[in-house]
Amino acid sequence: MQNRWNSLFLLAAVLLGAAWTATAADPAYRLLGKTAPDFALRGTSGANFRLSEHRGDVVAVAFWGSRCGTCGAQLGTLSRLVDTYQSAGLAALAVNVDDDQSAAASFAVAHPVSFPVLLDPGKTVARQYRVDNLPMLLLIDRSGAIRYVHRNHRSGSDAQYLEQIRVLLDE
């Protein structure tokens, strides 16, 4: 009898713990719904890129690092989406936050993408965007407001990106 009570109590504690973790682990992103701060960065190609030049497009900004395990997968997904929806007004910018620019360049060579890869070694843009996890993906609507944020890349993320990008492209 005592064992049954112990198991029940343990089960309740585990469920409560899970609920607390789920609510506390993903704090609200402060810039959600606000205008995305403008920035200009140098790309790995040598050219400079400015976010505000894409006003009117739906823009995906992906922050990544060469040591991040799932960043390559996220960039690959994004590259496929850009290939499909570029003509409908989808643009993407990948912002690398590595201190070592050569590591970023070699990673970019190993994971070729169809959009500009920008370098932010000083992390000024990452700070502006309050990047607290890698990879981090922001979806910006045609008016320049941050509408969706993803602080991780999971197995079901591809479908989520597609769904949200379609919503923004249809506006």
Q: Is 164 in the site for another protein (CB under 8 A)?
A: yes
Q: Is 159 in the site for another protein (CB under 8 A)?
A: no
Q: Is 109 in the site for another protein (CB under 8 A)?
A: no
Nearest approach in angstroms of CB 5 to another protein is: 7
Residues 6+ apart with CB under 8 A from 36: 51, 59, 61, 129, 138, 140, 144, 145, 146
* SS3 at position 95: strand
* SS3 at position 123: coil
User: Which tokens sit at 148?
Assistant: 């969706």
How many other CB atoms are there within 10 angstroms of residue 142's CB atom?
16
Out of 8, 56, 99, 132, the only residue in the binding site for another protein (CB under 8 A) is 8
- Which residues of the chain form contacts with another protein (CB under 8 A)? 5, 8-9, 11-12, 15-16, 18-20, 22-23, 26, 28, 32-33, 40-42, 47-50, 53, 84-85, 87-89, 141, 143, 145, 147-148, 163-164, 166-167, 169-171
